[in-house]
């Protein structure tokens, strides 16, 4: 049961950046916004996808770093110094015996990595006249990750994951009350789908969504939508940023109000998941999920 005391709240912030291939400048911009959000009272701060380096696939692979590399070391230092929980967006993580992964890290106020999530769904699409093939340079993760954070429980996702509601069901089934979503949505898909999908994931799972996005252009063809936002379990946008703007948006997360929403409209309790077990295998047989057409 969620505690109904006055301490059952948390101020959270999402950071919006225009990261490029200049890692040094990216780290400086991220630090500036993290410090500003902490000064505003945020105890949970989310950075966007690929915040240390936005570049073409080969450059991303070349710039991949292990979890004791400079970007993670810097982020751990900020969290520890400021006493905040920091979702270090996502970065290209180097592995000794495998290809890089698109990895999001949850860093506690003690400066230690509390959880790591490797993006499950690879962005292999053609949109806006550009072909994106994330799987050509990175491997997909295969683990659903949830971790405690003060009065809340964080379910971790990254960008394209937003289009796969089954991941968010798995997160909420593991107790998530907050979803963190570092992103770099394209302008084409962002204009059409971003806010609708973010609010849908919040409404259907009666959870907070902290969606931190990249914004603006980066070489060779990136053009990111921005519009970072914090959405509550009723689907209300509590705070947000427009496109073209680096900065942060912050809001209070009220977990007592979340508990009331879940009790008054018990959609999660009314689910009947046993009726749908094995459905993915049936879909495959009808030509979905890569099955026979």
Structural domains of the chain sorted by starting position, each given as residue range(s) with its CATH number in brackets: 10-253 (3.60.110.10)
| Contacts of 271 by beta carbon, 8 Å cutoff, 6+ apart | none
> Is residue 149 among the annotated active site residues?
no
Distance CA 225, CA 237 (A): 17
Distance CA 214, CA 199 (A): 18
Per-residue pLDDT at 106:
98
Choice among 50, 93, 149, 159 that is catalytic = 159
Choice among 50, 119, 134, 138 that is catalytic = 119
| Contacts of 81 by beta carbon, 8 Å cutoff, 6+ apart | 111
Strand partners, 154: 147, 178
Distance CA 103, CA 126 (A): 23
Per-residue pLDDT at 58:
87
Query: Mapping DSSP to helix (H, G, I), strand (E, B) and coil, where does residue 238 land?
Result: strand
Per-residue pLDDT at 56:
87
* Main-chain dihedrals φ then ψ at residue 186, nearest 5 degrees: -70, 160
> Is residue 112 among the annotated active site residues?
no
Distance CA 133, CA 125 (A): 7
Q: What is the mean pLDDT of each run of 10 residues along the chain (293 residues)?
A: 60 98 97 98 98 92 95 98 98 96 98 98 94 95 97 98 98 98 97 98 98 94 95 98 90 98 98 85 57 35
């Amino acid at each position: 049961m969620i505690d109904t005391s006055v301490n059952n709240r948390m101020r959270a912030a999402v950071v919006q950046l225009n990261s490029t291939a200049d890692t040094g400048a990216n780290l400086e911009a991220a630090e500036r916004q993290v410090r500003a959000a902490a000064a505003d009272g945020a105890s949970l701060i989310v950075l966007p996808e690929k915040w240390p380096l936005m570049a073409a696939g080969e450059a991303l692979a070349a710039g991949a770093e292990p979890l004791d590399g400079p970007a993670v070391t810097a982020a751990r230092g900020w969290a520890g110094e400021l006493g905040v929980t920091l979702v270090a967006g996502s970065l290209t993580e180097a592995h000794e015996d495998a290809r890089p992964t698109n990895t999001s890290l949850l860093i506690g106020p003690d400066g230690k990595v509390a959880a790591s999530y490797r993006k499950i769904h690879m962005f292999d699409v053609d949109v806006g006249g550009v072909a994106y093939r994330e799987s050509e340079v990175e491997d997909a993760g295969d683990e659903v990750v949830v971790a405690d954070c003060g009065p809340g429980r964080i379910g971790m996702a990254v960008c394209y994951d937003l289009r796969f509601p089954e991941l968010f069901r798995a997160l909420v089934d593991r107790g998530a009350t907050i979803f963190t979503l570092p992103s770099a949505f394209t302008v084409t898909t962002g204009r059409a789908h971003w806010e609708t999908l973010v609010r849908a994931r919040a409404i259907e799972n009666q959870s907070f969504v902290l969606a931190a996005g990249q914004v603006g252009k980066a070489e060779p063809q990136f053009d990111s939508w921005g519009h970072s936002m914090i959405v509550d379990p009723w689907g209300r946008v509590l705070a947000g940023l427009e496109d073209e703007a680096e900065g942060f948006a912050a809001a209070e997360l009220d977990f007592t109000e979340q508990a009331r929403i879940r009790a008054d409209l018990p959609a999660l309790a009314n689910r009947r998941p046993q009726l749908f077990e094995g459905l993915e295998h049936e879909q495959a047989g009808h030509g979905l999920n890569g099955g026979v057409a």
